[in-house]
Homo-oligomer: A and B are copies of this chain.
């Protein structure tokens, strides 16, 4: 099978590495707007050849788009224009509603499978690509009834080769859920990094930075090229999540101001529950090695 990967950074590069190792495909075409990135990916053996966008997608079985969401929005219609009728197209972006909306009337809408693999690191570029990045993580496939069965099947197969479990939901559900579980933590981490850097006695503060601080600001290392468009595309749900977060912060702030130990205990104890929620999740996935396929039905 021939695949094209558009965007040879962390996500595209990591997918290409795993799909090659697992013999999912025998030829990988790389496409990247940065000539440097493209050459580096070729050098690193991540892709077999470099191509331009139109010619790269015109003769392959699967196109995987792994670029910032605003760029996906801009080029997806053109990609669907240029593929063969049998080609499957999928994108790995963190927001889905605006992208799905853009191509809803395209004659090849059914070739397109909107997806989102829930994994990543704070690094970017082809050198950041790593094997096994997606293993035991969840991949979301959105609005699956809008895609033809053979295209859904190929994307499911790809995620299974990457070692992922698959969850099906509407693009609205995916955008709301990732607003809370991914976009909000990024915004919180950016603000934390900025708040600490705004202090005058920075030298002391950074000398003291321990593991806890490093963990809390880890996401603040993620790039604006990827993240500013995510916040814009998912504005409605991100603002909802941020408002809930700011409300909780202010209420905790007021408990401190009032030295209200009872309410502080209650808030912290409730926050502590995150431990069992999270501890119960991952071991299940890792232990069973079986793919949990869930269909969420909640209406938004």
Contacts and interface: CB of A to CB of B under 8 A. Distances in A.
Interface string A99-138: 0000000000000000000111110000000000000011
Contacts of A269: 224
Nearest to A247: B195
What is the total number of copies of this protein in its complex?
A: 2
The DSSP consensus for interface residues of chain A is helix
Interface in A169-222: 169, 173, 176-178, 180-182, 184-199, 201-202, 204-222
A177 B197 contact: no
Most chain B beta-carbon neighbours within 10 Å: one of A187, A244, A261, A298: A187
Contact of A187 (B177, B209, B252): B252
A53 to B, nearest CB: 23
B118 A194 contact: no
Given A188-B249, A271-B190, A206 B278 contact: yes
Interface stretch (A5-13, A59-67, A234-242): A234-242
A208 B167 contact: yes
A126 to B, nearest CB: 19
A220 B178 contact: no
Contact of A252 (B191, B219, B261): B191
Contact of A199 (B180, B187, B256, B264): B180
A218 to B, nearest CB: 5
10 contacts: A122-B212, A169-B204, A173-B201, A177-B205, A180-B199, A181-B208, A195-B241, A195-B245, A231-B256, A239-B253
